Amino acid sequence: RTPLLAASNLAKIYVSRRGLFAPPTQVRAVDGVSLSLAKGTTLGIVGESGSGKSTTGRLLLGLETPTTGHASFAGEPMPREKTPQWRDLRKRMQLVYQDPLAALDRRLPVGRQIGEPLDIHALGSQQERIARVRELMDAVGLRPDQADRYPHELSGGQRQRVVIARAIACGPELLVCDEPVSALDVSIQAQVVNLLRDLQEKRAIAMVFISHDLKVVRNISDRVAVMYLGRIVEEGASEEIFRKPLHPYTQALVSSIPVPGTALKDRIVLHGEPPNPAARPAGCAFHPRCRFATAQCRAQNPELLDAGSDRKVACHLLGPANVTQRAAEVY
């Protein structure tokens, strides 16, 4: 079966200059990402800032053009230009990002903004659109009287509900949510995550859920991809990743949150610099922070390889031959 979304070896390289007279340097924001997403399922993408998660999300939506590699949606290649075909595909996939205030127009009541996609795509009569806005507001837990409010008159959580209502207005098959709850109070985060999960179950919307926070993606993801400096370093079924993380970086991330049922008992503290795409270490990019790094790690970048049980890992010590033995030592 054709996956809803597929990406093959996506890379995005920016040329950046640190100063007026400094030589240009290449920054590999995304460096060979392949992934696929089945209809109606959720992939969590996790990593620190600078890991290339947001750029990956934008490449998947065709909002940015990859330097190399390609993405496809429902079997159709993502157009590289903003053609009518691209606009047509874009109706079927929507982006929800961190800051709802930036996503909304301060001068328009939120009900109008929820209905905007219906107006743009001329879906239904005026009466039908009004009824649809009501239904959408109900679906995201907003009251009908809130339709006439302006964004600043709502709370952060309510504003994100408005953004989500607008994103699902045209019945998309895919939502890419980029840190959708990071700007919200911790007490509100779970409510919005639950809303997204609820919507994706009821409406069979596939979702890419991007977060720096592993515990946020846990409850919503069927599969999880962990990114480090532009690459996926581990990918697998969500429960398995939490139960038994294999990559040393994933182990550190999982160990930092209290998760019942995980095999890791002690917190692994990461030392060294946080990842900086403009100064990418040679070999395995994680080696300066890895407690298992060897000479091979400093010289050679590990490939993302099958590690059994529907899992992929990019680590020299966890290649297919070593995986069982090494995992046994770690635990």
What are the residues binding Mg ion (CB under 5 A)?
54
Give the helix/strand (H/E) hosting 306: strand 305-306
Report the C-alpha gap between 310 and 82 in whole angstroms: 36
* Minimum distance, C-beta of residue 96 to Mg ion, in the bound complex (Å): 13
117 binds ligand SF4 (CB under 6 A): no
- Using CB under 6 A as the binding rule, whether residue 192 contacts ligand SF4 is answered as no
In the complex, least distance from residue 288 CB atom to ligand SF4, rounded to whole angstroms: 8
Residue with smaller CB distance to Mg ion, 51 or 72: 51
Binding at 292: pick from Mg ion, ligand SF4, none (beta carbon under 5-8 Å per type) = ligand SF4
Q: Which residues pair with 310 in a beta bridge?
A: none
CA angle (137 as vertex; 198, 113 as ends), nearest 5: 120
User: φ, ψ for residue 3 (rounded to 5)?
Assistant: -70, 155
Q: Are 47 and 53 in contact (CB under 8 A)?
A: yes
**Residue 293 C-beta: closest distance to ligand SF4, Å:** 4
Burial of 84 (0-12, 13-18, 19+ CB in 10 A): exposed
- Regarding 286 and contact with ligand SF4 (CB under 6 A), the answer is yes
**Residue with Cβ nearer ligand SF4 (100 or 248):** 248
275 touches ligand SF4 (CB under 6 A): no
Q: How far is the CB of 183 from ligand SF4 (least distance, A)?
A: 31
Taking contact as CB under 6 A, which single stretch among the options 12-20, 59-67, 162-170, 279-287 is the one that binds ligand SF4?
A: 279-287
- The residue range among 15-23, 115-123, 188-196, 290-298 that interacts with ligand SF4, by the rule CB under 6 A, is 290-298
- Identify which of residues 159 and 316 has a Cβ nearer to ligand SF4 in the complex: 316
Comparing CB distances to ligand SF4, the nearer of 37 and 315 is 315
Residue type, 36: S
Q: Which residues inside 227-256 make contact with ligand SF4, applying CB under 6 A?
A: 248
Distance set, CA 176 to CA 38, 98, 227, 312 (Å): 14, 11, 16, 22
Q: Which C-beta is closer to ligand SF4: that of 166 or that of 326?
A: 326
By CB under 6 A, the count of residues binding ligand SF4 is 12
43 membership: H or E segment, kind and range = strand 42-46
Tokens of residue 238, six digits:
């969500």
In angstroms, what is the minimal distance from the CB of 259 to ligand SF4? 21
How far is Cα 56 from Cα 110, in angstroms, rounded to an integer?
29
Which span (119-127, 168-176, 218-226, 284-292) binds ligand SF4, by CB under 6 A? 284-292
Pairwise CA distance, residues 180 & 48, whole Å = 15
Range 296-325, binding ligand SF4 (CB under 6 A) = 297, 302, 315-317
Please say which residue, 54 or 250, places its beta carbon nearer to Mg ion: 54
**Alpha-carbon distance 37 to 57, whole Å?**
13
Q: Residue 196 or residue 297: which is nearer to Mg ion going by CB? A: 196
Does position 287 interact with ligand SF4 (CB under 6 A)? The reply is yes
DSSP string for 174-236: EEEEESTTTTS-HHHHHHHHHHHHHHHHHHT-EEEEEES-HHHHHTT-SEEEEEETTEEEEEE
* The binder of ligand SF4 chosen from 169, 229, 293, 323 (CB under 6 A): 293
Cβ-contact 115, 175 below 8 angstroms: no
Binding site for ligand SF4 (CB under 6 A): 248, 284, 286-287, 290, 292-293, 297, 302, 315-317
